[in-house]
Amino acid sequence: MYRIIISLSCIILIQNSVVSIEYVFGNDKVRLARSASSDPFLKPENTGEEGGHVSEANILFTIDEADKKPVEDVVEKNATEKKKKRIVRDKKKKSILDQKLVSEYLKKGKNFEARNELSDLYFKETDRKYRNEIKNKLDELNEILVFSKVPSPDAVFYEVKSGDSLVKIAKKFDTSYAFIMRINNKSRTLIKIGERLKILKGELSLLVDKSDYTLTILLDGHFIKQYPVGIGKSNKTPVGVFFVDNKLINPTWYSPEGVYKYGNPKNVLGTRWIGFEDRNDLYGYGIHGTANPGSIGKDMSNGCIRLKNENVEELFDFVKTKTRVVMQE
Residues labelled as active-site residues? 288, 304
Type of residue at 287: I
Backbone angles phi, psi at 54, to 5 degrees: -105, 125
Cα 251 to chain center, whole Å? Answer: 30
Which residues touch 112 (CB under 8 Å, ≥6 apart)? 145, 152, 153, 154
Nearest to 274 by CA among 262, 286, 283: 286
Helix H or strand E segment including 182? helix 177-183
Please report which residue ranges of the chain form alpha helices under DSSP H.
2-25, 63-66, 71-107, 111-124, 128-145, 166-172, 177-183, 309-318
Cα distances (angstroms) measured from residue 60 to each of 25, 41, 68, 166, 329: 13, 8, 14, 81, 44
Task: Identify the sign of the CA torsion 47, 49, 50, 51.
Answer: negative
Q: How far apart are CA 146 and CA 144, in angstroms?
A: 6
Side chain identity at 66, as an amino acid letter? Answer: A
Task: Tell me if 274 sits within 8 A of 288, measured CB to CB.
Answer: yes
Write the CA distances from 140 to 95, 111, 119, 137, 219, integer angstroms.
21, 10, 12, 5, 16
